[in-house]
Amino acid sequence: MAYSAAEIEAKWQKAWDEAGLFRATRSADRPKYYVLEMFPYPSGRIHMGHVRNYTMGDVIARHKIATGHSVLHPMGWDAFGMPAENAAMASGGHPKDWTYGNIADMRAQMKPLGLSIDWSREFATCDPEYYGQQQALFLDFLEKGLVYRKNAVVNWDPVDMTVLANEQVENGRGWRSGAEVERRELTQWFFRISDFSEELLEALDSLDDWPAKVRTMQENWIGKSRGLQFAFGLNDGPDGHDRVEVYTTRPDTLLGASFIGISPDHPLARQLERERADVAEFCAEARRGGTTEEALEKAEKLGFDTGLTCRHPFDNAWELPVYIANFILMDYGTGAIFGCPAHDQRDLDFARKYDLPVISTFAPAENEGFPLPEDGGEAYVPPKTETVIYVRGFAGDTEQTGLAAIDAAIDFCEANGVGQGVTKFRLRDWGLSRQRYWGCPIPVVHCDACGVVPEKKKNLPIELPYDEDGNPIDFSIPGNPLDRHPSWRDCACPACGAPARRETDTMDTFVDSSWYYARFTAPRADTPTVMEDAAYWMNVDQYIGGIEHAILHLLYSRFFARAMHICGHLPEKAREPFDALFTQGMVTHEMYLGAEMNEEAKGSRAKFYFPEEVCRFEYEGEPVALLRSFVLQRSVDPSDTSKLRDLWDVHYIDDQVGAEDPKLKVIPSAKMSKSKKNVVDPVNIIGAFGADTARWFVLSDSPPERDVEWTASGAEAAHKHLTRVYRIVDALVQDTGTGTPEADETLLREMHRTIHEVTGGVESFGFNAAIAKLYAFTNTLAKSNAGADAKRQAATALAQLMAPMTPHLAEELWHLLGHEGLITAAPWPIADDAMLVSDTVTLPVQVNGKRRAEISVPVDMSKSEVEKAALALEAVQRAMDGAAPKKVIVVPGRIVNVVI
């Protein structure tokens, strides 16, 4: 019999189905384990990243099943979002049909992987049963004041024609469309996530099993700072403006203030803009600059002297000029700053440009040790920690260290009525309104008489209309089709019954993914969750997904879990929903980049080629490639490297291939992307080698948190190995040989060591190391002189240890070896500690830290005897060269080091 993945895999998947092994059930006597991979967006195709993600989760789930846990391992679809609408716009059809079609396709591609998923719990976020419960949550949030409506300046994506949350703007561009966002003033719904800033920040410390990187990123995003908020009195301001509120984290530099700066969007600037043409001109100019990183770096720091002055809070006679400056953000603090050029580089640059005074506040009388910025010098930015600084003018020139100085400054200001210490967060409330069709409708109604009225819960779900009076909804016109849909939009007010209008905005799709993990615990319930189920299954014991969700999805989910707890939908402990988080790396692949001549542009642009379109070779030590079509056209054997080199050298002289440049750059490892033509389709791999090979490969070679490079040779090697294991075990079935007791013992000791190491690897995301150990053990087994019984015992353990990674093959081996039932249901093997230690041990012997010899000694030999034996070794004597040992270090079971 030969190894046939297709046959084996279909057979055992059927057997698992029939046994109902993956159906999650609450159990009184088994511990529960909830493993979850971030659910996919139904794009229509699974990719290698999915395979890697779900395989990792599957290894954990299967290991937990084998160790007697009651496991919940569900799968669903993050199914609302723009691509469905874009597809509808591009090629007709309806987002719903497109989405459900894709889900069916992807499920069909995913099932052959043999994942231990409880498919009975599957749902899509676009199922009315799901988003209806989401609407119920929204109404509960509304009642508890966790969501509210306000008029606000928002980020508008002009391409997707919708609003974006702050988190969804990257370098001034929409996270999805890449378009530069505009600022618009709209009435929008917001989640009160900022009320939870402190809690979300502090609780990060309890997330021990989260990557430190993710915690740091969230910490920075929440952005806590402590400072002083106070006002400068404004002289002769326009009506209603007699002061300028300022927030500063460096109140210790207040005596170094030399100007006031306000944002062009500051109310005072807006007022002046209306009154004065010169101000209007400057503000328009200041707003024009882009918000991209490059633009900001290049942008000049511009200021406009309003001619107004402020009074310093410590000395009313001290006047400071008020500038409007283009680098001051209205969103942060109060939109106004005081400039302290002596201790801030940007302020110093500004002061030099506009000839403003530079006043040091940290200098003792003679400025000792605190250089004032000379012309061209840099600002002295006093460190917030450690350094001892003088706080001139506060509390009688006391000497304070770092943060204490800032606190002293705040205390002084509070005592003198000059403002108060405040804590600020960068985190803003989460705007959730989206002007799109394919999302969860916000369940409220606008009534002329009653205002904004929540929909009644019994009317939920408020379903998206599928068509309009029997005609498919038209997505060819930009904007939100719900706005143009009178029969859906127009309704009766739930409060007074008068004609009213439905809210036509839908929810941000990040809302959908902020609670799906909770829904999996009771996916068919007619309430968002069922407390009994949530209490049993929550929290997610292990969550696995990409680092790209470090802020958005994970922060929103943490907020949502808290909000759901407040509304009685989740138990207290689930306020942090994910006990452990693992962020896996990407699957990368080689990429071929060429230059395509562009006649019109009279230049060239990047063009990508499929790996099968190129011939690879080395040229001057660099990997390079030529177009295969070009090589064949010259009748050159693609495997003849020297001929390829010749072609590489001469092709410009004898160029008859037209505009295409046959020379290609090789990028050995790039993220798989359709447009870069370097995607490997899992379906093809599974077709060629089987799911077990794909699973084995994505787990081997690279640590799970790092990127793994897909190579054809690696995939083939994985398949060869699995075939070899099958062959070895298959041969064992007929084997009746007897071995020496020593050979049996050696093999079984190695077996226990392997059980020990692989178990450790599986439990700590050391999948690559576990696989390396399984390779090594396979080699040991293949070469062993042990008897058939010992070998079969070893092979059984091998199959069990491989089962989480290559479950189909493992079942087949289990069966070949004559075991009953399913390996998936068999208990995990346990290493016998007694077999992990041997009678003798080989120690390296060092002389002055350099290894000179090895010595094999009984494991219980005394230190002094080991020392004696080591010193007697010829190689050691030679290395000591007649010198007497000063000291001999013997670490039992580890090493001997002779110091001379």
Partner RNA sequence: GCGGGCGUGGUGGAAUGGUAGACACAGGAGACUUAAAAUCUCCAGGCCGCAAGGCCGUGCCGGUUCGAGUCCGGCCGCCCGCACCA
Q: For RNA, which is the closer residue by CB, 10 or 717?
A: 717
Site for RNA in 457-516 (CB under 7 A): none
Separation between Cα atoms, residue 705 and residue 701, nearest integer Å: 12
Q: For RNA, which is the closer residue by CB, 162 or 334?
A: 334
Q: Which of 31, 92, 158, 223 binds RNA (CB under 7 A)?
A: 223
Residue range at the interface with RNA (CB under 7 A); choices 359-367, 674-682, 719-727, 791-799: 719-727
Shortest approach of RNA to residue 717 CB, angstroms? 3
Q: Which of 706, 830, 832, 837 binds RNA (CB under 7 A)?
A: 706
Shortest approach of RNA to residue 219 CB, angstroms? 8
Shortest approach of RNA to residue 183 CB, angstroms? 13
Q: Which of 97, 105, 407, 716 binds RNA (CB under 7 A)?
A: 716
Shortest approach of RNA to residue 712 CB, angstroms? 9
Q: For RNA, which is the closer residue by CB, 278 or 331?
A: 331
User: How many residues make contact with RNA (CB under 7 A)?
Assistant: 84
3-state secondary structure labels for all residues of 277-343: HHHHHHHHHHHHCCCCHHHHHHCCCCEEEEEEEEEECCEEEEEEEEEEECCCCCCCCCCEEEECHHH
Q: Is residue 850 part of the contact set for RNA (CB under 7 A)?
A: yes
In this structure, the chain runs to a length of 900
Q: Is residue 717 part of the contact set for RNA (CB under 7 A)?
A: yes
Q: Is residue 733 part of the contact set for RNA (CB under 7 A)?
A: no
Identify which of 599, 603, 508, 692 has the alpha carbon closest to the alpha carbon of residue 131: 508
Q: For RNA, which is the closer residue by CB, 459 or 764?
A: 764
Tally Cβ neighbours within 10 Å of residue 530.
15
Q: Give residue 40's identity as a one-letter amino acid code.
A: P
Identify which of 48, 30, 161 has the alpha carbon closest to the alpha carbon of residue 109: 48
Residue range at the interface with RNA (CB under 7 A); choices 463-471, 555-563, 589-597, 848-856: 848-856
Q: Which of 12, 247, 560, 696 binds RNA (CB under 7 A)?
A: 247
Shortest approach of RNA to residue 781 CB, angstroms? 11
Shortest approach of RNA to residue 333 CB, angstroms? 3
First to last CA, the chain: 63
Q: 834: buried, middle or exposed (CB in 10 Å: 19+, 13-18, 0-12)?
A: exposed
Tally Cβ neighbours within 10 Å of residue 44.
16
Shortest approach of RNA to residue 600 CB, angstroms? 32
Q: Which of 104, 108, 296, 883 binds RNA (CB under 7 A)?
A: 296
Separation between Cα atoms, residue 90 and residue 83, nearest integer Å: 10
| Residue 489 token pair | 């939009």
Q: Which of 848, 858, 859, 883 binds RNA (CB under 7 A)?
A: 848
Q: For RNA, which is the closer residue by CB, 329 or 395?
A: 329
Q: For RNA, which is the closer residue by CB, 131 or 765?
A: 765
Separation between Cα atoms, residue 292 and residue 161, nearest integer Å: 20
Identify which of 208, 160, 895 has the alpha carbon closest to the alpha carbon of residue 579: 208
Q: Which of 248, 506, 557, 759 binds RNA (CB under 7 A)?
A: 248
Q: For RNA, which is the closer residue by CB, 629 or 711?
A: 711
Q: Which of 6, 21, 161, 299 binds RNA (CB under 7 A)?
A: 299
Separation between Cα atoms, residue 220 and residue 427, nearest integer Å: 9
Beta strands per DSSP E along 520-584? 542-546, 581-584
Q: Is residue 274 part of the contact set for RNA (CB under 7 A)?
A: no
Cβ–Cβ under 8 Å, residues 378 and 288: no
Q: Which of 316, 598, 779, 862 binds RNA (CB under 7 A)?
A: 779
Site for RNA in 404-443 (CB under 7 A): 426
Identify which of 681, 543, 585, 671 has the alpha carbon closest to the alpha carbon of residue 48: 681
Q: Is residue 354 part of the contact set for RNA (CB under 7 A)?
A: no
Shortest approach of RNA to residue 751 CB, angstroms? 16
Q: For RNA, which is the closer residue by CB, 546 or 571?
A: 546
Site for RNA in 166-205 (CB under 7 A): 170-171
Cβ–Cβ under 8 Å, residues 77 and 42: yes
Q: Is residue 782 part of the contact set for RNA (CB under 7 A)?
A: yes
Instruction: Spell out, one character per residue from 674 to 703, where the chain touches RNA: x when CB under 7 A holds, - when not.
Output: --------------------------xxxx
Q: Is residue 639 part of the contact set for RNA (CB under 7 A)?
A: no
Beta strands per DSSP E along 367-414? 388-390, 399-401
Q: Which of 327, 390, 559, 609 binds RNA (CB under 7 A)?
A: 327
Partner residues linked to 305 by β-bridges? 323
Cβ–Cβ under 8 Å, residues 634 and 644: no
Q: Give residue 564's identity as a one-letter amino acid code.
A: M
Shortest approach of RNA to residue 256 CB, angstroms? 11
Q: For RNA, which is the closer residue by CB, 86 or 225?
A: 225
Identify which of 661, 615, 613, 660 has the alpha carbon closest to the alpha carbon of residue 642: 615
Shortest approach of RNA to residue 700 CB, angstroms? 7
Helices (H), 235-276: 267-275
Residue range at the interface with RNA (CB under 7 A); choices 19-27, 118-126, 221-229, 598-606: 221-229
Question: Helix crossing, 741-763 with 48-66: angle to 10°?
Answer: 120
Shortest approach of RNA to residue 886 CB, angstroms? 9
Site for RNA in 537-556 (CB under 7 A): 547, 550-551
Q: Give residue 633's identity as a one-letter amino acid code.
A: Q
Q: For RNA, which is the closer residue by CB, 647 or 708?
A: 708
Q: Which of 734, 842, 881, 882 binds RNA (CB under 7 A)?
A: 842
Site for RNA in 607-636 (CB under 7 A): none
Shortest approach of RNA to residue 130 CB, angstroms? 29
Shortest approach of RNA to residue 171 CB, angstroms? 7
Q: For RNA, which is the closer residue by CB, 235 or 768?
A: 768
Site for RNA in 747-776 (CB under 7 A): 766, 768-769, 771-772, 775-776
List Cβ neighbours of 640 (8 Å cut-off, separation of 6 or more). none
The count of C-alpha atoms lying within 13 angstroms of the C-alpha of 416, restricted to the half-sphere facing its C-beta, is 16
Q: For RNA, which is the closer residue by CB, 372 or 547?
A: 547
Give the distance, in angstroms, between the CA of residue 888 and the centroid of all CA atoms in the same chain: 50
The count of C-alpha atoms lying within 13 angstroms of the C-alpha of 666, restricted to the half-sphere facing its C-beta, is 17
| CA dihedral (780, 782, 787, 793) positive or negative | positive
Tally Cβ neighbours within 10 Å of residue 893.
11
Q: Which of 465, 571, 844, 885 binds RNA (CB under 7 A)?
A: 844
Residue range at the interface with RNA (CB under 7 A); choices 13-21, 291-299, 464-472, 525-533: 291-299
Shortest approach of RNA to residue 727 CB, angstroms? 7
Residue 461, preceding peptide bond in cis (omega within 30° of 0): yes
Residue range at the interface with RNA (CB under 7 A); choices 402-410, 470-478, 805-813, 841-849: 841-849
Cβ–Cβ under 8 Å, residues 791 and 735: yes
Q: Which of 63, 176, 250, 676 binds RNA (CB under 7 A)?
A: 250
Tally Cβ neighbours within 10 Å of residue 859.
11
Q: Which of 851, 860, 872, 883 binds RNA (CB under 7 A)?
A: 851
